[in-house]
Amino acid sequence: MAPDRVVEKRERSTACEYCLAALERQRLLSEPLSDADCQRELALALCPDCGWWFATETYSAPTHVDVGYTTRTAHAVGVARRYDIAAFNAPLGELRRYLARHPEHLAQVNPTAFERLLADCLKDAYGAADVIHTGKTSDGGIDIKMIITNDETFLIQVKRRSHLGRHEGVRVVRELNGVLFREGIAKGMVLTTAKGYTRAARSEVNVRTPTVRPYHVELLAFEDIVRMLRLVPTLPYKPWQGHIERLGVFWRQC
């Protein structure tokens, strides 16, 4: 099929080329150019399921004959790529979009990729916080350090469990407490894909501590993680933006 026929087919299509989900269409821009007789339009088709997209930029200009306009259309298209969600290098943005829709697959994610994914989610949950993925296996399981202010730092353990229906035990909280006491940091957090925590684990956050500041540990489980995955990212999903800017350059060079 010739390229222009492919573009025409995509402009008419209502379904994603990769997953067949219904496309969301929107007009990004419709404006007159410096010459009032010229018109520029930007349109986007986006798949809400897999993230595939198709953007067009159309310029209409008078033919300088008594009737009619000439139009030229440039286009850019996203390329969907299949990847293994258990892979260490699975792209975080796509992984987050997928898991937000299919949280039952959390147990399949690579543990290190899952730590990096939750570090990304914490940035959206806590605004201007400085979130650092440490992944220190020899430091009591501290995987993330989150600095909210100079006086407020969280040490965070992440547990990606193979069985989502179980409860997280007391050991992980005791390990975290040990690091908090040693470092003199009063705040911590455990993020687990388990459905909840045992009674002993919850009791462990009520211990008396030698930290100067008030001690506080948050215990977040499966449903809490799903809510974090579904937060609106600080950086919105707009992979087409740079391509659209280049379309204007393409037109001016024609």
Q: What is the pLDDT of residues 155-171, one digit of tens each?
A: 999 999 999 999 999 99
Half-sphere exposure of 89 (CA within 13 A, CB side): 1
Contacts of 249 (CB under 8 A, 6+ apart): none
Question: 3-state DSSP helix/strand/coil percent for the chain, to nearest 5?
Answer: 35, 30, 40
- Chain region(s) in the chain for CATH 3.40.1350.10: 92-229
Fold topology of 92-229:
Trna Endonuclease; Chain: A, domain 1 (3.40.1350)
Structure tokens at 56: 């067009």
Q: What is the pLDDT of residues 163-219, one digit of tens each?
A: 999 999 999 999 999 999 888 888 999 999 999 999 999 999 987 766 677 889 999
CA distance linking residue 127 with residue 224, whole number of Å: 17
**pTM for this entry:** 0.67
Residues of the chain with pLDDT under 50: 1-2, 67, 250-254
